[in-house]
Structures are given as C-alpha cells and as structure tokens.
Amino acid sequence: MREVDLSALALRLRARHALLVAAGTFLGVKLLRIGRWLVYGSGRWLWWTPKGITLPPIVPVSRFHSFRHISVQRQFPLYQYQYFKQYGPVIRIPLFQLAPWVFVCDPSVAKLVTEGDRSLVLEESPKAPWLYSLFSSFTGGPNMFSRPLTTQGSIPGCLASRKAVASAFSMAQMDGIIPHLNKYMESLGEVLDRMASSERDLDACELFEGGAERESMGKSFLESVNTIVNEISVMRVTNPLRKYMWWAEHQKKFDRSGLFLRELGRDIVNKYRASHTDEELARDCSVLGHLMRSPYPSDKERIADIIIFLIAGHDTTGYTLAWIVIEVAKKPEIARKIRFSRLPQLGYQGRIATMAVTIPAGSTVSVSNFAMHRSGITRPDEFVPERWDEKSEDHERLKTIYRPFSTGMRRCVGENLAMVELRLILATLLQRYEWENLMEPRPQFYLTTKPEGAVVRMRMRA
C-alpha cells in the first residue's frame, strides 16, 4: 500500500475548505446585494455600474412601497414631492425595471431631457419603449404619441403628424373656434341650469367629465376611457405582466374598451366622408378636417390618431376645471374678481388657468411637474392666482418652472385650444353660478390629477 502524507492531505483539505468558504461568502454577499437591489433598488446598479461616478441619491423605500403608492393609494406624485424636499431635485426611486429610474423637478434638467442641448450635441431624450407600447395597446397600433419623431417608410412620424394638424391649433384659428365653443356653452348651460335649479349635491369629477346627464353612447365612451387610463397609467406601470393575462377580467375589459374606441374612430371617419365633399374637405380647418386630409398609409393609423385626440382632450381639461371650481368655492372673493374682470381680455381667469450627479445611459428619467411647479415659490401648496401678476415675487420664477404642456418637439399640440376652452368655460361657470364645496377631494393620480370624492353644490346667481 502507498503511504499517505496525512499532513499534506490535511493541508489540501483546509485550503479547499477555505476556498469554498470564500466562494460561498462572495456569492452570499452578491445574493444579498441582488436581493437588496430587487427590494430597495439600493447599492450599485447590480455589479456593473462604472466606478468613479456619483449616482443621484436613492430614496430608501422598497419597490413594493412605491407600487402601493401608484396602484393602491394612487398618490405617487405626492410622495415624490416629499422625497424631493428631503433628498434634492434629482433622485432615484425604486420601481420595476432593471435600469435606474430617475425623477427630476429641477427645471434645467427637465429642459435638457425634453429639449436636449445643441451646444452639447445632445438631442432630446426619447420616451421609454414600454411607454410607447402602453399607448399603442388600445389604438390598434402606433399613434401620434407612440411613433418615433421622424417618418419611417410609409408610417408618418410624430413630427409629420403634428405638422399636419398644427395649423388647426394656431391662435389665428382659435378666433374661428370661439363661436363654436359659445354655441356649445349654450347647450351646456341648459344642462347646468337644470342642475343648479335642483340644488342637489354633485360629484365634481362626474360633472366635469361630462358624465352627468349623458346619453348611453357618451357613458360608454367615458367608461372605456376611464378603463384604459386606469390600466395604462396605473396598473401596467406597476405590473407589466398584466397585458399577458388574457384570461383575466381586467384584460378582457381593456380589450373591449379599446375595441369600442377603435369602432368609434372608424364611425367618425365614415360619417365625415359621407357628409363632406372634396371641396368641403379642402376648406375644413377643424382638427378632424386636418386629420382627414393628411396622407396616412391606411385608416388604421388615422383612427389611432383620432383616438389619441379624443382621450388627450378629455380628463385633462375636465379635471382642471373641477379643481378650479373646488378651490374657488373655498374663496368667494376670487369668484368676484373673475366676474368683474374684462371678458374680452380674459384677464384674471387667465392667471388661474442641478446637482453634481451622473444619470447613467439607459436610465428612465421622469419629470415631476407636480413638484417642479411648486419649487421655489411662496406658499406653494395654496391656491393663489395673484402669483401670476407681473409684480408678484413669484412671476419670474414661474416663467422657469411652469410647463404644464411640456416642452420640446413633443410639446402638447393642443395647448392653445385647451387654454381657450378653460378660460371661456371658467368665465361662464363663475359668472352664472355660485358654488359651494361640500366635501374635500382626495387627489388621485392617473394621466392627470383627479379630485376624487369632491362634492359640490351649484346655484343660479341671483
């Protein structure tokens, strides 16, 4: 038998044991770091983040904490607002994706993201691919919002679609739209007069969504829009796998809502063609007229853009009016100032209506308008229309931070129309009716801020 060197064997066993312990410790530390990243998003971006750079500070909350703020409490921007106060204007908040998700409320960084910087040969940042897919999921394909900026093949890009309808939203065109809005206000006034005469309690959201006294077609439209907005702005943001749950009731309801809107868009196109000659189409300066004249590969792409316009101009304007009425109801003196302002100039109601860190390539960057519009101004959480006066101490600051329609090449094309609608309707609402706030709203965030639970009462002015 061969003689065994027990001392050498023991040495090899100890070395192997030490190696296994070291490897186990290394893997254990890595697993703990990955686990910590999976739950909190903290630590280096896994283990391949370049050394020597300073990332924006990360908010020490778990991903599940953030998911609850988005999908259950629906007050994520309110929490962002508090995070910015504590950790600075550029922060990371743990969410579902692998790459860092950076939130900013600094106006200079926001401008860089949305407009780029020619001096740095830096183009504006594209939207995240998953965001494009969200908005394509209910229109039947790419639309003005989800298309790339430039035209690719026969598919018009975002800039081409914007150019096709831009003149319909010009200030010169608004002069022709105001008579149509006045006619609409007459019919709306009849509905509101009936409500005011009854002096019954009204849900502010339902009132300004148009849900009150709406025919069945209108209610179906509202239900479909609310289903889609809730899904794409809340539920799928926290759970990207929801769209694959074809058996689940939420997905079936989402599919039905998308089908309803596509059929509605096709019905709009067919009725327009049946009621307009080529000469009338050539003279039509409306948004729909511009969309019908624009060269699309097929009606599928045209209908997709029509759906986007229907949704984009719906709850944004409605909820803004609701918030204004709620705030004005608390301060009757504001309503008096509006009533005695000069309507042709829309004076008083017009006022109503960086850090040394590196953002890694591949990050998702979100601009928090909710926080940015409140940064650096006096009494940021109060309703103070006077802050828009040129002599106000906040006036210059507001020029820098105020960007409700975004900036850059994807700036909201309907900005002029939205402001004209808000001012005309607001003037009518506050001159014709008195408002009483009966129940405070709970801010709920979808595509925009919804004053959920707010109850108001309106009366005819004596």
Binding positions: 412
Non-local (6+) Cβ contacts of 385 within 8 A are 334, 337, 348, 351, 352
Per the annotation, binding residues for heme are 412
End-to-end CA distance of the chain: 117
Distance of CA 15 to the CA centre of its chain: 59
The answer to whether the CB of 70 falls within 8 A of the CB of 234 is yes
Q: At what angle do helices 332-339 and 315-330 cross, to 10 degrees?
A: 110
Strand-pairing partners, residue 203, are 455
Question: How far, in Å, CA of 77 to CA of 79, rounded?
Answer: 5
